[in-house]
Amino acid sequence: MGIRIGILTAGGDCPGLNAVIRGVAKAAYHTMKDVEFIGIQDGFGGLIRGEYKTLNQSDFSGILTIGGTILGTSRTPFKLMQVVEDDNVDKLKCMKDNYKKMGLDCLLILGGNGSHKTAGLLADEGLNIIGLPKTIDNDIFGTDVTFGFHSAVDVATDCIDKLHTTASSHGRCMVMEVMGNKAGWLTLYSGIAGGADVILLPEIPYDMKKIIAKIKERGKRSKDFSIIAVAEGAMSTEEATMKKKAREKLRAESGNAVFKITKAIEAETNFTARPCIPGHIQRGGIPSAYDRLLSTRFGAYAAELILKKNFGVTVAMVDNVVVANELSEVAGKTKFVPEHHQLIEIGRSLGISFGD
């Protein structure tokens, strides 16, 4: 009797998803007898609706360098997974029923924090689940790195590089928003790599006076431009004291950090400032060589876990060794940038301001 493996990709797309799918399949075909893959379409939505297709070996060929996901993806918030909405669909029951209808021996879930919480829920319900940590935010607990992160760092760094030439040519302050609502890994890495003068992270509330002081100090040293890398979720010291709803209301009225900072610079200095939001460009494109390697390692290890029938876990990288963490121990936890992370200390030693 063969092994029937389901695969789905959930949440936002990122480079490396297809490379993981390929890594799992190639390793499984090589190490297992009579293996079959079922591709579940458009994330958990496809699992809820029972939308899937049988994948052939040819489907896994030539996808190593392709960005996005051949299976499609969608967002289904974890907080709604056990809520019956107006459509009267019991999502959890549908997922369990369709898992059985597909005749799956296990299900691989490629996703970020929210997807891992749903993966943990399904594992608790008795399904054979293996998670694979995907996110450009690099904020999944228990793994040193997630696939998609380094590709996004390359893109965000390239954006900062390009801003340098315009900023220096026109003598402007360029304020660039980098993806990352809760954790600032992407902003920290790309900010350091791109030579930003100010780096603002969600983990370190900023004082606008400190940012203005940094820009003026650069001006005194004949530096007539500055690059400010701002994480989506960066917040001022005032916002940090607010509850979430109050903070969201304030932002709806006055705009996100990147716009507020741009306005403040123009109001309080002699510099012209411009906002820049690369947005979803940061999560698109082909995976970097690093992410291709990482994704292939993760995929091959997932196949090994299937062979060993080690379920209820998620793949992780710890000290450059691929391991498996219990879903129950990592799902629902966010990996934040530590206040005294070495890169932050290095940045401070280079004169970079973190707004505090």
Distances (CA, A) of 350 to 44, 106, 133, 162, 218: 45, 49, 32, 21, 13
Q: What is the identity of the amino acid at 110?
A: L
Q: Which residues of 333-351 are buried (b: 16+ CB within 10 A; e: fewer)?
A: eebbbeeebebbeebeeee
Residue among 11, 15, 22, 9 at smallest CA distance from 302:
22
Active-site residue, 86 included: no
In angstroms, rounded to a whole number, what is the distance separating the alpha carbons of residues 231 and 108? 31
In degrees, rounded to 5, the angle at the alpha carbon of residue 332 between the alpha carbons of residues 326 and 80 is 120
The tokens describing 71, both together, are 């299976």
Question: Quick check: 119 and 111 in contact, CB under 8 A?
Answer: yes
In angstroms, rounded to a whole number, what is the distance separating the alpha carbons of residues 90 and 242? 35
Query: Is the dihedral angle over the CA atoms 294, 300, 301, 302 positive or is it negative?
Result: positive
Query: What is the SS3 assignment for 25?
Result: helix
Beta-carbon contacts of residue 172 (< 8 Å; ≥ 6 apart): 166, 225, 271, 272, 273, 274
- DSSP H helical ranges for the chain: 17-31, 43-49, 91-101, 113-124, 149-170, 185-194, 208-220, 237-240, 244-254, 257-268, 289-307, 327-330, 342-349
Q: Which of 34, 86, 90, 137 is labelled catalytic?
A: 137
Distances (CA, A) of 34 to 2, 4, 343: 5, 9, 48
Distances (CA, A) of 191 to 195, 197, 224: 6, 8, 19
Which residues have a catalytic role annotated?
Answer: 137
